[in-house]
Structure 1
Amino acid sequence: MNQSPTADVANNRVKTDLNLAIGQGLTANQIYLYIPPTLNFTFTPPSITIADGNKCITDNTYVAISGTVIYKCVGSGVTASPVTGATDASTDSTTTGPSTSTGASSGSTQSSSSKIKSTPFIQAMTVTATASQPLYENQWNQIARSVQKALEAKQMLFDDEIQVALL
């Protein structure tokens, strides 16, 4: 599943992915800075157990589809019958990764005997990018759209557009 073995490795991956995505966003929008933007973010990756398969069976596990964690399995039991709804990510509007949240819009069903259900896995974070040159708000918005596309190409899916707030 390509899960990071430690929090430090996960943070380094996030930092690398963000820097690459912002570089791609700047290039895609033909914005050339003499000094690359400075990024500040706080990310605390959760320690998770990824379930075998693509269905929620065990409480407090996570379902990954195509390498992206989509669902958290929650319930009162330890083991239960499979729960449907965590089987197809192609129709979900999902998010995972920097500057966004991860979640799924499709509803899940719950086995009456199990009390285990799939809920959207949401991972949100705030990233502050500081440029050495002034940029207009519409330029930041264009960069944000390009960054989101670059991150989505790396299996980081979004349920909303990246929001730009000028400081």
Structure 2
Amino acid sequence: MRPLAWLTAILVLVGRPVAAQEKLLTDWGTFVFERDLGSTSGLVAGPADSVYRVLKAFFADVKLAMKEDDPANHQLGVKRLRVSRRIGTKPVSAFLSCGEGITGANADLWHVFLNLGAQVSPAPKGSRLQILLSADAVDVPGGRSERVPCATTGRLELNILTHLRQVFPGT
């Protein structure tokens, strides 16, 4: 499969960003975060093979089981991973906004299905990283079956970048 094609398919076919969200474009150093697209991209001060290995270890540390792992193209992905209550040690609502109910954040109470893709490609002074994230939630505990789109808060992406900056100073 062509590089980035499966990452794009994640957003197009499985999850869609919340339409009501205003476009938030934030520059994080050399990285650009576009909340409405669930996209984060920028340059990492390290070779693609090393950045790929660090990303893979990070995903494992926060217990995100890879369903796509393509070392040759430096692609990692999580497709329709059901997360409940926590991602790593933090509540799901720290990373995703799926609306609020009377009992709190839907992301913390409902079944959330996460799609997360990352691709690393060589660049002149290191590597280029593209992260795509989408999710939806279902109120299974409440007996419902309709999916509600979730929006990223940007915190998961920022945690990834913070980790990469620690490993690859100058990022």
Q: Which one has a larger percent strand, Structure 1 or Structure 2?
A: 2
Normalising by structure 2, report the TM-score: 0.28
Normalising by structure 1, report the TM-score: 0.28
Q: Which one has a larger percent helix, Structure 1 or Structure 2?
A: 2
